[in-house]
Amino acid sequence: MTHPTPHGRWSVLAVCCLSLLIVSLDVTALNVALPSIQQDLDSSLSGLQWTVDGYTLVLASLLMFSGSLADRVGRRRVFQVGLTVFTGASLLCSAAPGLGWLIAARVLQAIGGSMLNPVALSIISNVFPDSRERARAIGAWSGVVGISMAAGPIIGGALVESAGWRAIFWINVPIGLAALALTRRYVPESRAERPRRADPVGQGLVVVLLATVTYAIIESPVRGWTSPLVAGCAGAALCALLGLLRYETRRVDPLIDLRFFRSVPFAGATVIAVAAFFSLGGFLFVSSLYLQDVRRLDALHAGLFLLPMALTALVAAPLSGRILATRGPRTPLVTAGAALCASAALQALTYSAHLAVAPLFCAYALFGIGFGMVTAPISHTAVSAMPRSQSGVAAAVASACRQFGQSLGVAVTGALMATGAHRGTAAFLQASRTAWWIIAGCGGAVLLLGTLTSGRWAQSTARRTAERLAAEETRTTVRT
């Protein structure tokens, strides 16, 4: 590809940021609207979980396929298809007559969404060849998550109160259309030098693995872990995992290139992504229900209560990118882990129906700092030490881990909430405290792994892995 001028590069970044904005706004606004959806569509708690997880599961399942497809047929082309599908599916979500239709439209949204963020990250990686400039660009791109966290709950709450929950999907349409028009004008086409072959078997195993794990967790409070269906899903997930590990090592062009995990920073980033986004999914799910069902706030005021988290994330995300560019990933990762752990522990220790606003806002602000700090180093580590020809696949693996972590967070915390939802406020609060301790453990994992996977030895494994992958890519290209 021909690299754009400096002005052109930042125009490309702006387009990629728009794609992240519509996906992130959709998630944050939807969480504020969950109680309204539950009331309007007469949904159970597990139905709400599937409204969120039906999207994130399909997204996680298809991200690696979409990343590989973009490397093969063209990143701009796949990006444009994703914008078109996501925008159209948003209209279908707004018109859904029942819960089943809404979940189906969310699945279609996820198909389009899978072609956006990992492909955008790959586009950024190719457009910004300088490592420091790329780190700043990824920091700015990650800062859009903070913007969506600031705007999403407030916009979503205002729309729910004024026009109903369906209106939260309308805002995707003008942003999606603008991004589509700007993509055609500014984003250059790029693809891998050697197209990678499709892997339908690996794709199927990934779908089975993620879907059965999540289904078993969500349905276990209702059916019980001894239920044949839940136990069968757990068994199917184990078989899919073993089959994936065995099958992918034998392919020339695997869906998941397990050699990536020889890089300690890359392997650490994938686990950190699961832990951090588990925390996000659990935080948004528990907090939305707590603010509206326990504190009896309307959707708009619930969104305003989340503003401390959103504002600190808005500040922390670009700051993380700048620190990453000058000092590397350790400082933002350690800060992120400490802040996430402190936020969750504070809520676990103080949670009550009439908790004072000051400690609640303090916990929310700490969470925003932690989440804002973690996104840029995850994204940068995923693509920085990989051959350019495989940047789409590497970015997709990291994105899939983020989405799976978020769906897992909703599934686990939702399962805990389901045990106390029908037994009054006291039982709900006790289940919430358990959820917060689990989230605190995820923050501790980010802190520990951020320390262990960002040192000199870890960086040396990344360099060796990149050299081996590049050499193998060269040999394969020569043979073909």
Q: Is the pLDDT of residue 233 over 90?
A: no
Residue 74, SS3 per DSSP = coil
Q: Is the pLDDT of residue 213 over 90?
A: no
Q: Is the pLDDT of residue 142 over 80?
A: no
Greater model confidence, 195 or 246 = 246
pLDDT more than 70, % of the chain = 88
The answer to whether the CB of 385 falls within 8 A of the CB of 463 is yes
In the chain, helix, strand, coil percent, each to 5?
85, 0, 15
- Check residue 445 and give its pLDDT: 94
| Distance (Å, whole) CA 78 – CA 95 | 26
| Distance (Å, whole) CA 86 – CA 110 | 7
| Distance (Å, whole) CA 289 – CA 34 | 8
* Tens-place pLDDT, residues 378-435: 877 766 666 666 666 676 777 778 878 888 888 788 878 776 555 677 888 888 899 9
| Distance (Å, whole) CA 43 – CA 36 | 10
Residue-averaged pLDDT of the chain: 82
* Tens-place pLDDT, residues 52-84: 778 877 877 787 778 778 877 888 888 899 999
* Tens-place pLDDT, residues 319-354: 887 888 788 888 999 999 999 999 999 999 998 888
Q: Count other Cβ atoms within 10 Å, centred on residue 255.
A: 25
- Check residue 63 and give its pLDDT: 77
Greater model confidence, 208 or 151 = 208
Q: Is the pLDDT of residue 149 over 70?
A: no
**What are the phi and psi torsion angles at 440 (to 5°)?**
-60, -40
- Check residue 1 and give its pLDDT: 47
Q: According to the per-residue pLDDT averaged within each range, which of 186-195, 199-208, 271-280, 418-427 is highest?
A: 271-280
* Tens-place pLDDT, residues 18-44: 887 888 777 777 878 888 888 888 877
Confidence of residue 367 (pLDDT cuts 50, 70, 90): very high
Predicted structure pTM score: 0.78
Greater model confidence, 86 or 76 = 86
- Check residue 479 and give its pLDDT: 55
Mean pLDDT of 360-369: 94
- Check residue 335 and give its pLDDT: 94
Instruction: Please report the DSSP string for 217-278 in residue order.
Output: HHHHHHH-TTSHHHHHHHHHHHHHHHHHHHHHTT-SS-SS-GGGGGSHHHHHHHHHHHHHHH
pLDDT more than 90, % of the chain = 18
Q: According to the per-residue pLDDT averaged within each range, which of 110-119, 167-176, 180-189, 338-347 is highest?
A: 338-347
CA distances from 120 to 14, 15, 83, 143 (A): 10, 9, 11, 14
Mean pLDDT of 309-328: 84
| Distance (Å, whole) CA 168 – CA 82 | 19
